[in-house]
Structure 1
Amino acid sequence: MRTALVLLFLLALAAMPGALLPQRSLNAAKVAEYIAAHGWWGRLLDRLQFYDVYSSVWFSAVYVLLFVSLVGCLVPRTFEYVKSLRAKPVITPRNLSRLPHHTRSTVEHGVDEVLTEARTRLRGWRIAEHDEGGGARSISAERGYLRETGNLVFHFAMLGLVVALALGKMYNYEGQVIVLANGKEFCNSGTLSYDSFRPGLRVDGTDLTPFCVKVNGFSARYLPNGQAESFVADVEYQSGPDLESGTWRPYRLAVNDPLRTAGDRVYLLGHGYAPTFTVTFPDGQRRTSTIQWQPVDQVTLLSAGANKLDRPGVTDPAESRQTQLAITGLLAPTAVFRGTLLDSGFPDLLNPAVAVDVLRGDLGLNSGRSQSIFEVDRSMVDRGRLSRVARANLKPGQEIRLDDGTTVRFDRVEQWVSLQVSHDPTQVWVLAFALLLIAGLGTSLVVKRRRLWVRATPAASADDQGRTVVEVGGLARTDRAGYGEQFDRLAAELVRRKES
């Protein structure tokens, strides 16, 4: 057990770098920045797996050793406990007066009557009766076996918790996705359906439980100071047989009230806004784009983003790279103009407006490099391959005309919601083991091991014929606190005193 406690402390110590350093499974870009900023020290930490703490060799080694130590501790203790349950209470000591608690009385009852009364009073104790010869008889009594039961339950629950957490780490997954709240659907069909996805060690994304969620609408209530009071998404979902029958089931998705379906949980994390722009090219062709923009002010939901479009009908790659458009800037749900500068005064969609720059040229969409959907590749601007052709503040219905006759109209603002899908097949087991751990710990702290002996001996003197000398001795196996008062009370109940 001492080894297990040391390993438990080492496990907590080994988990600290996971909280203090960026982890590759959570944010690989942040890890790369940290390594670049700290030079050789950052590279050394990378070789030592400090950016992948929970899957590192040394963390796994401590985890496995803790498991082995717990098993090695519990197996012999369980056998000893079973053996003690089958054994009888220890025989009565020869000299009870040497025990920490002792009393002696002479009563006007026979030995049989005294022992019958003792057996009645000690109901619930484990007792054994002994014949000591010469007419003397005694009873050994013991209680508090539940203390060791609680202790074993506590440690078995800890072992089960370790196993459940390990299995959960292997087979769980968590993903985030942004869905427009205008009837758009999200289906749990694979990792490509997510904006970000964190799989467990044994999850490759090919066997996710299928289900679909459709977001029909979103409503938010705010306090006068702009603080959010409630977020509610009107969703429909289908899973299992509903996928074949096409049945959609309604659900009111709120913060801290997840949708539970197909063994997964769907949480509502937040929301934001997505402006819709319609671009009409000189030849009459149109492109409409609705893309979520990212809040840059969490209080007023002032948002920034970029809508990126290719010109339709252009098949030549070189020409396409010269005619791509990006509409980038700021969106205010409740517009407040400070001169010509746009700001937002409230997070609700009361008076939307955008301040946009229209860029034309090569957006780098075909470069093979990933880029953020919320901004353009600034390196293309610095290299002169992407240039600004217009700037304007627009409200819904207003448009701006470019130098080649292309018009960009700001149509409306849609709302989007951020959903998180969590899958943890061992969460029920973790809860069960955690409750057992608390119950076992509570039992081991409340229940106390107690031993009691009662010896009844016929009085030896001629004056005391028919009387019995009763000795009661007590011993606390564990916590001694309070046993003195408890022993005195039991001794008073076990014998009927009469001064000899």
Structure 2
Amino acid sequence: MIAFLRNTWRGLTSMRTALTLLFLLALAAMPGALLPQLSLNAAKVDQYIAEHGWWGEFLQKLGFFEVYATPWFAAIYLLLFTSLVGCLLPRLWEYFKQMRARPVLTPRNLSRMPHHAQAVLDVTPEEAVGRAKKAMRGWRMDTGDGTVSAERGYLRETGNLVFHFALLGLLVSFALGKMFSYEGQVIVQADGGQFCNGGIFNYDQFRPGLRVDGTDLTPFCVEIGKFSADYLDNGQPVGFKADIRYQSGADLAANSWEPYTLQVNHPLRTDGDRLYLLGHGYTPTFTVTFPNGEKRTQGIQWLPTDQLTLASEGATKFDPPGVTDSDQRRKGQIAVTGLLAPTPLLHGSILNSKFPALNNPMVAVDVYRGDLGVDDGRGQSIFSIDMKMVDQGRLQKVARKNLALGEELTLDDGTKVRFDSVNDWVSLQVSHDPTQGYVLVFAILIVLGLGVSLTVKRRRVWVRATPQDDGRTLVEVGGLARTDQAGYGEEFTRLARAVLNEEKS
């Protein structure tokens, strides 16, 4: 049993096993990149399963829609971590002993070395040894009775160890990042809208790390000012820019604001958090004038359905004023739904959009009146109405019309709906990862370590000076490259010529 455990541990901690597990980890991560994930978009996961039937259900049972939370992915990760630790620690000890060890003694028969040269010189053995030590200045040397042992290229193993320990550090950093990082998206209105990173309920979507409960987020606030977007003639966006103010740290206590220009791929970095500008859309504002003369004005973001033209759909909902009875209120609720065209294109009465910028925007609205279903305690999308209420006859369509800015329509009971204005909203993403600096450092060390291990050659040279009967000295030079890289032959030739002074017997 002990022998079995020992052999299993040796197999697990071998470099071949570590490389195999690294390949398996990359293979196991592929479904996370190719398939929708529950943590990112549960709706797309449901759509994928519905479209692919039994195959989608089979993938769901295997955990392919939540790859990074599956036991088999965690098992590969932990095995790789264990294999690397078990493999590297003994190598580190061996390397430490090698750094303290003296070069290998000069072999008895240097002529058997892959590289060999010799000559009979008119010098003493001491002079030959001195010439060899001068030629190999900078090498680690050890001298004996007429011999010189020299070795170079210890940095190769240093680079190798740096590479593998950096890889281990990268894996640890990624694991810690999954535990203590968080990421959230939120939509904020331009021209005065504010967002504060005070809790998860301030976000539209929030993805916490395994050890994040949302009660200790980094506090900061931003206020969105003017937003501008540039487009090509075909509607392709060139760039988005939002002038913002922010406060964090001591600024919160002093209530002071700092200006910043937020652009795509140019995030705001503050107190370990990064604030990204992801995109934008439009918020139409409607005013409903009820039969009793009271008015309600509401602006809520609509969702782009065409990213090229920013044609947007949504639902702006109103409660009747002055109604305290819940049944009466539910009967008089109003929803303005439809299509917003930033730059309108009409085909008869069919409205569409031909450009994403605001050029005389129009809306094609359907007005519903009745019970919106917002009082039943269930969550409801802000971008749509509950079609179940329509199917049950509790919510009825009472008007349809295309409206330009400033135009209005009148319902059968005298209620008026006016299209007032269109404003910008921006989509922001907050990312917090306390390990990103460590990830960068370990990534750089991986590249440097790999570069050193690939470029530095480990090689050895020996010199023996043997006195001859005629008073001269036989000088032999032998060399051994401990790697298969090319180039050592030229270096050995230069060293041999310097030691032998190009004299031939």
Shorter-normalised TM-score: what interval? Answer: over 0.9
Q: Return the offset for 1:5.
A: 0.9
The residue type equivalent to 2:420 in the other structure is: D
1:282-336: per-residue Cα shift (whole Å, max 9, x none)?
1122111111111111111111111011112222221122111000111111122
SS at match of 1:345: strand
Q: Return the offset for 1:50.
A: 2.9
- Equivalent residues in 2 for 1:74-473 (5 A)? 74-131=88-145, 137-460=146-469, 462=470, 465=471, 467-473=472-478
Greater shift after overlay, 36-45 or 50-59? 36-45
Work out whether residues 107 and 497 of structure 1, in 8 Å CA contact, stay in contact via their aligned partners in 2: no
Work out whether residues 356 and 393 of structure 1, in 8 Å CA contact, stay in contact via their aligned partners in 2: yes
Q: 1:477 aligns with which of 477, 482, 490?
A: 482
Q: Return the offset for 1:366.
A: 1.5
Work out whether residues 127 and 139 of structure 1, in 8 Å CA contact, stay in contact via their aligned partners in 2: yes
Q: Return the offset for 1:20.
A: 3.4
Greater shift after overlay, 285-294 or 151-160? 285-294
Work out whether residues 360 and 405 of structure 2, in 8 Å CA contact, stay in contact via their aligned partners in 1: no
Q: Return the offset for 1:44.
A: 4.9
Aligned-residue identity in percent = 65
Q: Take 1:473 and 1:498, find their aligned partners in 2: how far apart are those partners?
A: 16
Q: Return the offset for 1:31.
A: 2.9
The residue type equivalent to 1:298 in the other structure is: Q
Q: 2:82 aligns with which of 46, 59, 68?
A: 68
SS at match of 2:185: strand
Pairing 1:26–2:40 present = yes
Q: Take 1:285 and 1:452, find their aligned partners in 2: how far apart are those partners?
A: 98
Q: Return the offset for 1:29.
A: 2.8
Work out whether residues 450 and 475 of structure 1, in 8 Å CA contact, stay in contact via their aligned partners in 2: yes
Match of 2:12 in 1: none
Q: Take 2:101 and 2:344, find their aligned partners in 1: how far apart are those partners?
A: 82
Unaligned runs of 5+ in 1: 132-136
Q: Take 1:80 and 1:499, find their aligned partners in 2: how far apart are those partners?
A: 41
Q: Please, what is the CA RMSD of the aligned residues?
A: 1.4
Q: Give the TM-score taking structure 1 as reference length.
A: 0.95
Q: Give the TM-score taking structure 2 as reference length.
A: 0.94
Work out whether residues 106 and 497 of structure 1, in 8 Å CA contact, stay in contact via their aligned partners in 2: no
The residue type equivalent to 2:140 in the other structure is: R
Q: Take 2:123 and 2:485, find their aligned partners in 1: how far apart are those partners?
A: 32
Work out whether residues 458 and 482 of structure 2, in 8 Å CA contact, stay in contact via their aligned partners in 1: yes
Distance 1:92 1:36, change over 3 A: same
Q: Return the offset for 1:493.
A: 1.3
How many residues end up aligned between the 2 structures?
491
Q: Take 1:14 and 1:497, find their aligned partners in 2: how far apart are those partners?
A: 60
Match of 2:5 in 1: none
Match of 2:8 in 1: none
The residue type equivalent to 1:448 in the other structure is: K
